[in-house]
Amino acid sequence: MGEWKETYLGEYADVLNGFAFKSEDFSSKGVPVIKIKNVASGKIKMDDVQFYPHELTDKLNKFLILKGSILIAMTGSHATQPSSMVGRVSRYDLEYNSLLNQRVGKIYSKDLKKLNETFLYYFLVQNDVTLDLAINAGGSANQANIAPEQIKSIPISLPAIEEQKSIASILSSLDNKIDLLHRQNKTLEALAETLFRQCFVEEAEGLENKTLDELIVFDPKEKVSSNIEYTFFDMKCLSNSSMAIADGIKRTVNSGSSFRNGDTLLAKITPCLENGKTGFAMNLEEDELARGSTEFIVMRAKEGTSPYFVYCLARYSDFRNTAILSMTGTSGRQRVQSAVLKDYEIKYSEDAMENFHNTCQPYFEKIKSNQIQIRTLTCLRDMLLPKLMSGEVRVKDAKKVARICE
């Protein structure tokens, strides 16, 4: 589809640095302001977002973030801390507008007939591009900074605009499918949690009280060896909003928690518990024993208890509030007391548990199937991304691979 042009990003793209808002400018209502902490790798996170409550002036209008905007963290950690690393890029995919705070950059095409912005986004999220920016960032030992000129000096190999659009379309279609599966899983989780409240809280009149010690094993004991490599999961593997547990790594482990498929993992430290970190193990190998952080509480269903009940209980607000109130220790590192959780009471009957389990089982099986597909599609996208961006794999071949995997 034509020759690729070797050039620098600044020939076709520009970078807008954010506005220097003052602390007194923020409120609990108004236009959201995107700060560095909201720029994750790939997507914007609106956790703890602050708002600008005043009418927008002409001066501020140029700092508006619209759907599709490409944002980059221009301050952050050095390359040794990937989760907060400088240079990470997000695509703003929300329907409402936000404002750009200082040290967050907006990267945009100067001419859409020459540089497609979706192509530009996928170029910037490549690991090599982000890592190169972080390695060459200035700043102190604890903080790295990049300037707009550094971003504009990134070398880029640019195909003709039609091939850019085709490459962007392939990668977007994979990401759209991944997003759809994530949304399906969120819906299924919400259905299960709603059913839990109906069965054991809202419509549980007349059911007997049971303590969790009668229904759940907390931190089950497993026979482990210090000479065997187990799949290990740390706190970063737990999500704030999903039951999915990110991939672990093989390593020998001398201490920590142990768990199997069907177990629920509950973060027991602050602030991870308050932030909602909870996971459900479902994608381990059959009969695999995995190891985890010492900061997990492992909750395993006893005979007659549904493992889905245990997970939904761990997401239930009253239970989580009880866990938070049970925390003891120093202010910076408080921990949940498992003994308090064992005494927590919930309404129960065998019929309610059986009905709940039978209704939820297909939800969780579909979630598991979706998670497997998400992993496959994510690996495909990550494999194709650098190859498409370099011209090593051409569009027609990538389309064939994508069709097979879907």
CA atoms within 13 A on the CB side of 159: 19
> What's residue 254's pLDDT?
84
Any domain includes 375: no
Average pLDDT on 339-350 reads: 95
Clarify whether residues 146 and 222 are in a common domain.
no
Residue 161: is its pLDDT beyond 80? yes
Q: How far apart are CA 45 and CA 47, in angstroms?
A: 6
Tens of pLDDT, residues 16-70: 999 999 999 999 899 999 999 888 767 788 878 999 999 898 889 999 999 999 9
Clarify whether residues 154 and 48 are in a common domain.
yes
Q: How confident is the model at residue 241 (pLDDT cuts 50, 70, 90)?
A: confident
Q: How far apart are CA 239 and CA 243, in angstroms?
A: 7
H or E stretch covering 303:
none
What residues make up the domain containing 119? 5-158
> What's residue 128's pLDDT?
93
| Crossing angle of the two packed helices 350-390 and 161-197, in degrees rounded to 10 | 170
Any domain includes 381: no
Clarify whether residues 9 and 154 are in a common domain.
yes
- How many domains does one find in the chain? 2
Tens of pLDDT, residues 177-194: 999 999 999 999 999 999
Tens of pLDDT, residues 90-99: 999 999 999 9
> What's residue 338's pLDDT?
86
Any domain includes 322: yes
Q: What is the pTM of this model?
A: 0.87
Clarify whether residues 135 and 215 are in a common domain.
no
Average pLDDT on 295-312 reads: 97
Helix (H, G, I), strand (E, B) or coil at 192: helix
80-94, 271-285, 331-345, 346-360, range with greatest mean pLDDT: 346-360
Q: Which domain-ending residue is among 299, 314, 348?
A: 348
Report residue 40 as tokens.
């994750």
Amino acid at 133: L
Average pLDDT on 119-132 reads: 94
Clarify whether residues 152 and 234 are in a common domain.
no
Bigger pLDDT: 170 or 240? 170
Any domain includes 106: yes
Any domain includes 263: yes
Clarify whether residues 281 and 140 are in a common domain.
no
Nearest-5° Cα angle at 210, 206 to 214: 150
Clarify whether residues 153 and 212 are in a common domain.
no
Clarify whether residues 150 and 232 are in a common domain.
no
Q: What is the CATH number of the domain that holds 246?
A: 3.90.220.20
Average pLDDT on 378-401 reads: 85
Asked if 68 and 91 touch (Cβ cutoff 8 Å), the reply is: yes
> What's residue 47's pLDDT?
75
Q: Which domain-ending residue is among 158, 193, 217?
A: 158
Residue 169: is its pLDDT beyond 90? yes
Centroid of chain to Cα 340? 30
Q: How confident is the model at residue 406 (pLDDT cuts 50, 70, 90)?
A: low
Average pLDDT on 252-261 reads: 91
**CA end-to-end distance (rounded Å), the chain:** 25
Those residues whose C-beta lies under 8 Å from the C-beta of residue 154, and which sit 6 or more positions away, are 8, 9, 129, 132, 133
DSSP of 106-137: EEEES-TTT--HHHHHHHHTSHHHHHHHHHT-
- Lowest mean pLDDT: which of 40-44, 63-67, 105-109, 211-215? 40-44
> What's residue 83's pLDDT?
74
Average pLDDT on 251-256 reads: 87
Any domain includes 380: no
Q: How far apart are CA 257 and CA 294, in angstroms?
A: 6
Clarify whether residues 143 and 285 are in a common domain.
no
> What's residue 273's pLDDT?
83
Q: What is the residue-averaged pLDDT of the chain?
A: 92
Residue 331: is its pLDDT beyond 70? no
Q: Which domain-ending residue is among 135, 158, 181?
A: 158
Clarify whether residues 149 and 212 are in a common domain.
no
Distances (CA, A) of 299 to 20, 43, 137, 232, 233: 46, 31, 44, 17, 16
Report residue 130 as tokens.
């982000």
Asked if 124 and 91 touch (Cβ cutoff 8 Å), the reply is: no
Clarify whether residues 229 and 297 are in a common domain.
yes
Any domain includes 225: yes
Q: How far apart are CA 229 and CA 253, in angstroms?
A: 7
Asked if 192 and 312 touch (Cβ cutoff 8 Å), the reply is: yes
DSSP letter for 333, please: S
Any domain includes 192: no
Q: How far apart are CA 298 and CA 54, in angstroms?
A: 47
109 CB-contact burial (10 Å; exposed 0-12 / middle 13-18 / buried 19+): middle
Clarify whether residues 216 and 109 are in a common domain.
no
Residue 136: is its pLDDT beyond 70? yes
Report residue 76 as tokens.
């952050």
